[in-house]
Structure 1
C-alpha cells in the first residue's frame, strides 16, 4: 500500500488523518460535535484513507495547532471509522452514517451486494469483466442473480452464465482480489452515486399520517403536482392493502399483533378487511373478536388510525424479516 503525502490529502482526508492521530477518546469527542453531513464526509474519507506517514501527520498537526509533539503514522479503514463513530455517537446515527458510506448493511461484501438494487448492480457489472460478474452473481441469492442477469445485454448474460459453470475452479487469491475491488470501487462509492427515491421516503411519511392529515396533504399536493401525488399513493402500504396478503401471512400478522390492538383497528375497517382477519381465525377466536369490537363502544378516529398503523408497521417489519410477503398489487404479483 503506498503512503499518502500531505500534498495528496484534500480537506476531508486531512481532517480524517488528524482525528485518527488523536485516537479514539479525543477524536471521538471531536466527532461528536460534527453534524451528520460532516460525519459522513469525514467517515467516508477515513474508509478510503491510505497509510499516512508520521511526517505527514506531524505536518498536518503543526498546520492545525501550530505545535504538536511527534505523532505516529495512521492508517484508515472502515473498522477504524466505525470504532470512532460508536465511541461518542448514538447507535442509530452510527448505523445510518455507516450505510451511507459503505452501502447496504450486511455481514460481508456478498451479503451487502445481495441487498443492492438489481438495476444498480446490473449497470455496474456491465462495465466489469464477465468473470467478475460471474463471481458476484454466483455468490448472491438465486432470486437476486436472476433479476440482475435479466437486465444484462444478451451477449454478456450468456457469457456470464457460462463462466458461472466453472466458477469453483477460481483460486482463493483471485476471489480475494475481486472482494477488495468491490469494497473500494463499488460499495464505498455506492451511497454517493445512488440516491433513494424521495417518493419512497414520502410514502413512508404519508403512511404515518392519520387519515385527516393524509387527506389534507394529498389534496394540497394533487393541486400542485398530480404526478408526484399519484407516485406516492402507488408506493404507500395502508391498512386496506392488507387484503393483498395470503391467508398464511394474515395468520402470521395476527400472531404478532397485541390482542388489544386488533379490535380497535377493525372497529373502523371495511367489512372486507374484517372478514379477511376473521376468516383466518378459529370460530371461537373470531366470535371473541366480534364481541370485543362491540364492547368498545364509540371510539376516536385517531385511536383507530393509530391501531391500524401499528398493524401496518408490524406487517412491514415481518416482510422485512422475510416472514411474510407483501404484494404491490401489480400484474407481476398476481397468481394464476
Structure 2
C-alpha cells in the first residue's frame, strides 16, 4: 500500500482533479468567488472530485501550477472531504442550493467505491477479503450490493463465512472522516491492485483463445508475438495447454480424461505420435480398450491430417473443460495435486 501511495504522490494531476486541487489550495474566499462562474453541471463535477480527493502532495501542486507556486504550495499536503465541499459552497450558495448539491455529492462519495467493487467478480472479492482481517471483510460485504455479497459468501470457506456473518451483525456506524479514509485505503489496496492484475487477466483470456486455435495457427501467432512482443509471448506460452502437454499430466488426471474419450478419437489422435508419447497415453487406458487401440494403430490406414487434428483438439478441449470444473488437474507434476 505504501508503494501505491508513493505512485499517487508522484503522478501529475489531470483534468477535473487538478481543478479540485487548485480550489482546495486557494481557500474558501477565492474558491467561492471562482465557483460562482461555474455552471450547475460543472459544480457537480468539481465538487464530486473534491469529495473523492485522496491525499495531494505539494509536489503535485507545484507541477500543476508552476507559475503560481509561491501562492499555492505554502501549506502541507491536502485532502478533500464532503465537509470541505459544503464549506466552500456555503460562501456563495443558499442553504437550499448547498443541500441539493451535497445530496448529489454525498451520494457519489458514499457509494461510488462500493458500486465499483460490486461490479468486480465475486471470486476476486473473495480472494481479497480472505487476506484481510475478518472485520475488514465484514465491512466490505456490508457495503457492497446484497447480490454481490451473497455471491462472495459462496466463495468463502464455511468457518470464514460464519465468522464474517457474525461480525456483519455487529458492524457499527463509522465516523464520516474515518469512513472516507477507509474507502480510499480500500480503493488503493483493492481497486488499484485489480488494475495491475488486469494485464495478467488479459494474457489468460488471450491464452484461452489461442488454446482453441489449430496448431499451425497457434504456432504462427506465437512466432509473430515473439518478434513483436517477446515478453508477452513467453507469458502466453506458459499459460497454453496443448495436446503434447497431456503426456505430462498426473496419472489420475490422464485416466479420468481418457475414460471420457471415445476409442476412435484416441486412435486418430495417436496417429503419427512417437512411441514414448503413445505409451504414456496408453498406460492411462483400460487393458481391453488399449488392446483394441493398439490393433487399430498397427493395422489401420493413415488418417487425413485434418481428422487427426480434430481428434487432438477434441481431447485438449475436454481436458480444459474438465480442469475448469475442477475434475482434473492439468498442471504437470505429482498425483497429489489431483482434485477428485
TM-score, with normalisation over the residues of structure 1? 0.47
- Higher Cα radius of gyration: 2
TM-score, with normalisation over the residues of structure 2? 0.46
